[in-house]
Amino acid sequence: MHLFRQLFRTLCTSLALLLLATSPAWACGACVAPPGPSTVQQKAERVLFVRDPVTKQSLTWVEVRYQGQPQDFGWVVPMPKKPILGVGSQYLFDRLDQAAAPRFSLNYSESRENCTVPVYASSGGGGVGCGSDNSMAQTTSAGSAYSEDTSAGADVSKDHVQVLESASVGPYDYVIIASDKSDDLLTWLNAQGYATPAAALPIIDAHVQKGDVFVALKLKNDAGIDAIRPVSFQMDDADPCVPLRLTSVAAVEDMQVVVYLAGPGRAIPKNHMHIEVNPLKLSWENAGQNYDQLLAAAIDEAAGRAFVTEYSQPMSAVSVDAADGKATVSAVQYSHPLDGVPLPGSMGAAGPSSNAYGTGTLVYAKRLDASAFKDVQTVSDVAKALKASNLPLADEVVTALNAAVTSTGIDWVATQGSGQITQVYYGSVPANGATVASAKLYADLSTFADGTKLAVDQLAKQKNLTRLVLRISPKEMDRDPVFAFNDKLPVVKRSYSATVTGVCSQGDDNADTTRLKIAGIDRSYLVTGTPPACSFCGSTFTSATDARFKAMPAASIVELLDENVAAQPVAPDQIALVDTAIAGAQPGTKSLPDGFTLKAADTRVKLPASDPPVHFKSAAAQAAADPGGCGTGRNRWFGAWLGLLAMVGTVVALRRRRA
């Protein structure tokens, strides 16, 4: 997405949760690596927070995007208490993106303005669109969904570091440690290969003083970078928080952080402001392809620390357990015993296969069951289990299938095509009796199914799902965003659309200008360039560079969100003051300190008046339309017909007079 600016070779960014001073919360984490010449990079992060409303158990998934050597990967995460570790799936994050990421569409009107021919010769019409592609690097699974404590007991070393647990989960080996001396803990981490710079000592010390424990993870020796999976942390009630302070040590400019929060209402940032992107500054000629850059610019207008709500809807809008989710595969495409196995789908802009998911369905929970694979022995058994289980063919599943059966000469993954990431080769599989690595296959598929189902079951209990996005640079990472919920705020379904209409400025049949009408704005504007003649035809019109829009702010709204109150606009000359004032805000308290008063804020974006309809006809256009000079407008024989009718009328009148 962006080039990573590596400030230190031995530290990379990560996400987890920070322990707040006055309320229980998750802690910050840091990716660390052994010293050496290798490059450690992390480009983006996706996080999911879910809290069970009955048990108050919190479940957090963190997915990091890492580039480097697998032996260089390490991750240290402070926690307020000992968590239960698990492995999540990229699949669920991708499905969340599919449901909640912004969508852009540009529609082409068949009617034309001020043209000799009022409609396009082509009846194509329609529109094009693109989805925000926030898919992360491909991942794979290994091991069981949750680990058990394999340590024989607490081990207190001479340097005051206590090993509370040492185990494996998925592709990771991990330890959970505690210490009452930050210096000794730092020494222990470095001795175990978690190269942690001295600059991290003050932050580590703050966690030690609070009594936090530390989870340190590494990839297993046989695991590659593509084995990195989201890590899940399950523990008692915790407030959601995304750490950014450690990230500032080695973060990419305008790094993207995507946060999904499921809870009793719309999720809001407490110690960051909130913005909305100005749709007039989108490059509509490219269906909003400048959105990421525009979002970064809009956040910069809010002191560089602000979130945008890209989606917030009742959970019922994205069903997580609709029927049994059994999909049918067209017999025209696949006429063999595996008909009925759902096709995998692209989790990026192209969306999933239409055969694989029902409209509005996030995940079919009943399909998250790998038990059919428990006793498979041959490739034929695997094929039958795949059909019986109806397990979704996510990347993790296909990767596990490949690992199990490729040694038998069967390749389960085809070349990308028809808008899909993967397709299964079904031919001859049911009759193949070659044995497979059944134990590992079952473990891998169980990791995927059980971990995903745990999160899906928790999501199903929630009232609302929110997607918040931040783009932030290292210099702006001076606090860890914390979140709360407000059930009084309106829903958000961040879809952007506009319609363009061809305009013949000379009144002829040549559409040389474009009228732009953006959904939600009750005005329309003439912009430079020609529109397409159909949905697939070329065009030259531009919108974002229009002089009226170019000078506008990137953020149409800068506001402060808080619990139980309406959104509060922030005046431009108060943005810096508000940013400082809310830096220490926490859930359950007012974001602004007592005595701080917000000024009345004028509307940031003052819309220009609509461009009036075009009724102009140039002399050349008039001459071309009426070469005989009779004002025919559309037919050169129109005057002759009028003359003939006049003659007929005269003859009829004379006959009547004679009669």
Q: What percent of the chain has pLDDT over 90?
A: 36
Residue 595 has pLDDT above 70, yes or no: yes
Contact 610, 524 (CB under 8 A): yes
How many other C-beta atoms are found inside a 10 Å radius of the C-beta of residue 444? 26
Rg (CA), the chain: 31
Show the DSSP H helices in 201-247 as ranges.
201-210
User: What pLDDT does residue 123 have?
Assistant: 36
Residue 111 has pLDDT above 70, yes or no: yes
Angstrom distance (rounded) from CA 37 to CA 354: 46
Angstrom distance (rounded) from CA 68 to CA 73: 8
Q: Which amino acid is at 652?
A: V
Residue 159 has pLDDT above 80, yes or no: no
Structural domain boundaries in the chain: 629-658
Here the tokens at position 84 are: 């239960």
Contact 287, 129 (CB under 8 A): yes
Q: Is the pTM of this model over 0.85?
A: no
Q: Which residue has the tokens 């965003």?
A: 481
Which has the minimum average pLDDT: 29-43, 157-171, 176-190, 400-414? Answer: 29-43
Q: Which residue has the tokens 């230190």?
A: 8
Angstrom distance (rounded) from CA 415 to CA 418: 10
Which has the minimum average pLDDT: 258-267, 346-355, 449-458, 642-651? Answer: 346-355
Contact 422, 398 (CB under 8 A): yes
Show the DSSP H helices in 322-437 as ranges.
379-389, 395-405
Question: Nearest CA to 285 among 531, 526, 549?
Answer: 531
Q: Fill in the DSSP letter of residue 531.
A: P
User: What pLDDT does residue 33 have?
Assistant: 37
Coil/strand/helix, residue 621: helix
User: What pLDDT does residue 95 have?
Assistant: 86
One-letter-per-residue 3-state SS of 546-562: CHHHHCCCCEEEEEECC
Here the tokens at position 397 are: 């599943």
DSSP E strands: which ranges in 294-426?
Answer: 306-314
Angstrom distance (rounded) from CA 218 to CA 443: 20
Q: Residue 21 class from Cβ within 10 Å (0-12 exposed, 13-18 middle, 19+ buried)?
A: exposed
Contact 274, 307 (CB under 8 A): yes
| Confidence band of 463 (pLDDT split at 50, 70, 90) | very high
Coil/strand/helix, residue 260: strand
Angstrom distance (rounded) from CA 471 to CA 466: 17
Coil/strand/helix, residue 54: coil
Residue 406 has pLDDT above 50, yes or no: yes
Give tens-digit pLDDT for 302-333.
999 999 999 999 988 876 654 444 443 332 23
Contact 141, 170 (CB under 8 A): yes
Angstrom distance (rounded) from CA 299 to CA 204: 30
Contact 250, 43 (CB under 8 A): no
Contact 636, 628 (CB under 8 A): yes
Q: Tell me, rounded to whole angstroms, the distance of Cα 371 from its chain centroid.
A: 31
H/E stretch holding 468 reads strand 464-472
Give tens-digit pLDDT for 50-59.
988 788 888 9
Contact 125, 132 (CB under 8 A): no
How many other C-beta atoms are found inside a 10 Å radius of the C-beta of residue 328? 10
Q: What Å distances lie between residue 412 and 295, 393, 408, 451, CA to CA?
A: 40, 11, 11, 23
Which has the minimum average pLDDT: 360-369, 386-395, 625-634? Answer: 625-634
User: What pLDDT does residue 656 have?
Assistant: 54
Q: Could you give the dihedral angle defined by the CA atoms of residues 49, 50, 53 and 54, in that order, rounded to the nearest 10 degrees?
A: -120
- Contacts of residue 470, defined as CB under 8 A and 6 or more positions apart, other chains included, come to 242, 256, 257, 259, 272, 299, 306, 307, 308, 481
Q: What percent of the chain has pLDDT over 70?
A: 69
User: What pLDDT does residue 45 have?
Assistant: 84
User: What pLDDT does residue 626 have?
Assistant: 64
Angstrom distance (rounded) from CA 271 to CA 92: 28
Angstrom distance (rounded) from CA 579 to CA 598: 12
User: What pLDDT does residue 509 have?
Assistant: 86
| Confidence band of 119 (pLDDT split at 50, 70, 90) | low
Residue 127 has pLDDT above 50, yes or no: no
Average pLDDT estimate for 131-150 = 33
Residue 125 has pLDDT above 50, yes or no: no
Angstrom distance (rounded) from CA 659 to CA 657: 5
Contact 363, 456 (CB under 8 A): yes
Angstrom distance (rounded) from CA 199 to CA 30: 12
Q: Fill in the DSSP letter of residue 21.
A: S
Which has the minimum average pLDDT: 357-371, 491-505, 554-568, 573-587? Answer: 357-371
DSSP string, 564-605: TS--EE--GGGHHHHHHHTTT--TTS-SSPTT--PPP---S-
Question: Nearest CA to 604 among 553, 656, 545?
Answer: 553
Residue 167 has pLDDT above 60, yes or no: yes
How many other C-beta atoms are found inside a 10 Å radius of the C-beta of residue 621? 20
CA atoms within 13 A on the CB side of 11: 19
Q: What share of the chain is helix, strand, coil (3-state, %, to 5)?
A: 25, 25, 50
Angstrom distance (rounded) from CA 554 to CA 486: 26
Show the DSSP H helices in 334-492 as ranges.
379-389, 395-405, 438-460
Q: Mutual orientation of helices 90-100 and 395-405 as an angle, nearest 10°?
A: 150
- The C-alpha angle with vertex 508 and arms to 506 and 513, in degrees rounded to 5, equals 55
Angstrom distance (rounded) from CA 100 to CA 103: 9
DSSP string, 91-124: HHHHHHHHHHS-EEEEEEEEEEES-SS-B-S---
| Confidence band of 248 (pLDDT split at 50, 70, 90) | low
What backbone phi and psi angles, to 5 degrees, belong to 407?
-65, -15
